[in-house]
Structure 1
């Protein structure tokens, strides 16, 4: 595994109100801000193929480790990973760079946060990009389908207390096996990449925090379904220009989740990549990087 000191990226920490986030930074701080949000079970390195190209295209690029992941702080308690707190982390990160607005790009869980950012803080959003992460209204609709419910088995499993961590911690190489077999492109992750991913998730508290994202989301959904939530769960329309990039070979998320997306996001462009899986920016790095540069320009 390479030494961060030998990398071309700048590693920094942002002390926010409730958490300290580690992030990687590239580009001119005076350029438009682009925040890259990773998914499960990843970290900032998920964007290694996009950071430099976006910086060269004239953007100030920031790729944080989300709270709980890798080198960022790992607050205890499931409530620390509620969606409102995750969105607030991004707002405070934008504040940290003294930017009025930002382009938000998210994959997987980072995409869930990106959707929520668009709903809750449109005043801080320039353009929105989501990669293989479902809009919440589409997800609720499709979870009524046995096919999508079966694909989401792992999210249900993660609701169990302590058991998922115990099993995964005792299963040597589970993450490496996933990264070697699930992507559509066999070259998506090399052995050095896999070593870095395994090292990041093995940091004390990281696996528990990553699974607590699912637990917090599950609890919020149950509260809404049983009428205990403060709102009825409907989401305001996202008016920002939005790009959705979707690897169609996603084993966990069906393409049906894209149906009717313009009902909730009128100014949406959908790019389907039939050759890519859930790990879309790694399966098709040049294609994804090109789409990002074109859309954000």
Structure 2
């Protein structure tokens, strides 16, 4: 079935890769040019890069954006909650990217660019295989280095119990996303998957007035409780109920040029078909002890390739982990700067593609 809604100049195809996936990719520009790989986050798809792919190709690159393991039209992954969780670890997802590069017949990637949960994947690609991934752009989620040896088997962080003990009892969204109920809560939400996604995209965007982020002092319950409820949820609420009060008005929807009804319909149809469990398994790998032990081999290793960070200045994702932004800026020797796009929220390459391209064009 052909991929709908694609801007002119973007093609769609399926590629078998050595990690066992039949990977759906969008691409622009001619093969043989320097390769740029774009990695989406949650709950997104290769489609989330639609506004920057042709402009990148116009700069002379072969641009490829896959639906990653667990998403969209890529097949060959385990969709069960009780399935092969380790296949969704950061190392395995990065190996999928390496396998895609090899399947494309390339030996090097000029730049690997990741947004949201795609950002740590991009960073991990560049950290572990700098011979292949020659530069890296991370968006919305600052790079965090490999865990110290032994850390991956530790139990839950103290702030979880502290959040639950607050007078207004709270929970952290990553641990909610790790529950068996999370997928059905969203896929079968009372408001319907389309309105759920509309509210979710809206409340994390620059369009919601409540997004006025600032750095947190520490990973304590008192500090974390300052985050919006889409990050630190009320104890009794699921994610569909959490975002429902922030459903934009018909006037706001009509004015939302960065996410049209047609765009939203495509996201809703894809996640309605696949569910969210594949993407949620990425989060579970960060909360289930022992799922990241293979990352410990790289403990203490620095990210050495030239790197850049881009986010909207109204994106709380920059600050959801206290100290992460400053640590990234200080810890990458070839760091090329932090660029915050005025007025944009979490979905920066969809909300402000021209400004993102301005930064990317100079870096690339």
Give the TM-score band, short-chain normalised.
0.7 to 0.9
Per-residue deviation at 1:144?
Answer: 7.5
Per-residue deviation at 1:251?
Answer: 3.2
Measure, in 2, the Cα distance between the counterparts of 1:40 and 1:235.
Answer: 28
User: Does the Cα contact within 8 Å between 1:224 and 1:233 map onto a contact in 2?
Assistant: no
In the alignment, does 2:216 pair up with 1:183? no
Measure, in 2, the Cα distance between the counterparts of 1:235 and 1:197.
Answer: 38
Q: Find the counterpart in structure 1 of residue 152 from structure 2.
A: none
Instruction: Tell me: CA distance 1:48–1:235, structure 2 relative to 1, closer, same or farther (3 Å).
Output: farther
SS class of match (2:276): helix
User: Does the Cα contact within 8 Å between 1:42 and 1:201 map onto a contact in 2?
Assistant: no
Q: Once structures 1 and 2 are overlaid, which stretch shifts more, 117-126 or 47-56?
A: 117-126
Per-residue deviation at 1:261?
Answer: 1.8
Per-residue deviation at 1:10?
Answer: 1.3
Instruction: Tell me: CA distance 1:138–1:235, structure 2 relative to 1, closer, same or farther (3 Å).
Output: closer
Measure, in 1, the Cα distance between the counterparts of 2:94 and 2:318.
Answer: 22
User: Does the Cα contact within 8 Å between 1:176 and 1:198 map onto a contact in 2?
Assistant: no
- Mind listing any 5+ residue stretches in structure 1 that lack a counterpart? none
Per-residue deviation at 1:230?
Answer: 7.5
Instruction: Tell me: CA distance 1:95–1:180, structure 2 relative to 1, closer, same or farther (3 Å).
Output: same
Instruction: Tell me: CA distance 1:234–1:159, structure 2 relative to 1, closer, same or farther (3 Å).
Output: same
Instruction: Tell me: CA distance 1:42–1:235, structure 2 relative to 1, closer, same or farther (3 Å).
Output: farther
SS class of match (2:51): coil
Measure, in 1, the Cα distance between the counterparts of 2:5 and 2:267.
Answer: 14
Q: Find the counterpart in structure 2 of residue 32 from structure 1.
A: 34
Measure, in 1, the Cα distance between the counterparts of 2:100 and 2:187.
Answer: 31
Q: Find the counterpart in structure 1 of residue 117 from structure 2.
A: 109
Q: Once structures 1 and 2 are overlaid, which stretch shifts more, 283-292 or 175-184?
A: 175-184
In the alignment, does 2:276 pair up with 1:207? yes
Q: Find the counterpart in structure 2 of residue 273 from structure 1.
A: 341
Q: Find the counterpart in structure 2 of residue 154 from structure 1.
A: 173
Q: Once structures 1 and 2 are overlaid, which stretch shifts more, 95-104 or 173-182?
A: 173-182
Per-residue deviation at 1:187?
Answer: 3.1
Per-residue deviation at 1:152?
Answer: 8.3
User: Does the Cα contact within 8 Å between 1:34 and 1:104 map onto a contact in 2?
Assistant: yes
Per-residue deviation at 1:2?
Answer: 7.8
Per-residue deviation at 1:131?
Answer: 0.4
Question: How do residues 203-282 of structure 1 correspond to structure 2 at under 5 angstroms?
Answer: 203-204=273-274, 206-219=275-288, 222-223=289-290, 231=296, 234-254=299-319, 256-268=323-335, 269-282=337-350
TM-score computed with the length of structure 2 as normaliser: 0.71
Q: Find the counterpart in structure 2 of residue 128 from structure 1.
A: 136
Per-residue deviation at 1:63?
Answer: 0.8
Q: Find the counterpart in structure 1 of residue 264 from structure 2.
A: 194
Per-residue deviation at 1:99?
Answer: 1.5
Q: Find the counterpart in structure 1 of residue 24 from structure 2.
A: 22
Q: Find the counterpart in structure 1 of residue 54 from structure 2.
A: 52
User: Does the Cα contact within 8 Å between 2:141 and 2:317 map onto a contact in 1?
Assistant: no
Per-residue deviation at 1:106?
Answer: 0.4
SS class of match (1:104): strand
Measure, in 1, the Cα distance between the counterparts of 2:291 and 2:66.
Answer: 30
Bigger Rg, structure 1 or 2: 2
- Mind listing any 5+ residue stretches in structure 2 that lack a counterpart? 149-155, 164-169, 208-255
User: Does the Cα contact within 8 Å between 2:3 and 2:12 map onto a contact in 1?
Assistant: no
Instruction: Tell me: CA distance 1:230–1:165, structure 2 relative to 1, closer, same or farther (3 Å).
Output: closer
Per-residue deviation at 1:119?
Answer: 1.4
Query: Could you tell me which of 77, 93, 96 is aligned with 1:86?
Result: 93
Instruction: Tell me: CA distance 1:92–1:68, structure 2 relative to 1, closer, same or farther (3 Å).
Output: same
TM-score computed with the length of structure 1 as normaliser: 0.87
